[in-house]
Structure formats: structure tokens, C-alpha cells
Amino acid sequence: MQVGRNVVIAAGAIICTQVKIDDSAIINTGAIVDHECRIGAGAHIAPGAALAGRVQVESGAFVGLGARVIQRLTIGSFATVGAGAVVLEDVPADTAVVGVPARCLPPIESQRNCLT
């Protein structure tokens, strides 16, 4: 395992063999990062999220609470995986995905007043 500077690995997190975690990443409470994953600089793996083997989470990406990512996928830079999502395909950079299976959300510009 290789761990960069200013990395937070919270209580109960499981980090398996040959994982690389870049600077300023967060592996939060109870998260699972399986074998040969790579976590980019400033990425955040939320509590209870699970990454199967050889997942690459690029810099600035966020994997939400309880999300699941199957093996050999890439979560692009500054992408967001919503809480509880099950990711079965690569997530492009600057994209948000939610649901089971995970699907892309439309761009923010088209979501005016979506919570009202």
C-alpha cells in the first residue's frame, strides 16, 4: 500500500493489498477499498462505500455513502457517485450518477428548481 501526504483513513476502513492513495484523499468510516485500487488526489470515499478490485477513482471525485463500484472501473476526475448507487460502468469526469444501476444525472443547467 502506498499512501500520500495529508490522507485521512477513518476508523473501520478496510484497505487491501497494492492500493495507492494519493495526497489529500479521504477514505471514510467503514469504507472498503479492495486490491489494486487507485485513489486520486483529493478524492473522497464516503462512509460504507465499497470499491471492488482495480477501481480507479481520479482526483477530486466523490463516491457517496454506501455506494458500490464493481471491479476495473474508473470514476473520472470531479465525478460524483450518489449515495447507495451501484456503478456498473465507467463514470466520465465531471459527471454525477445515482441509482441502481447508476445512471447519469442531467447537467445542472437543466435542473432549475429541481428540489422545490
Which of the residues 30, 35, 52, 54 is marked catalytic? 35
Our answer to whether residue 44 is catalytic in this structure is no
CB count in 10 Å sphere of residue 29: 13
Q: What does residue 94 show for φ and ψ, rounded to 5 degrees?
A: 60, 35
Q: How far apart are CA 17 and CA 10, in angstroms?
A: 17
If phi > 0 it is left, if psi is from -120 to 50 it is alpha, else beta; for residue 6 that is left
Instruction: Look up residue 25 and give its DSSP letter.
Output: -
By annotation, the residues acting in catalysis are 35
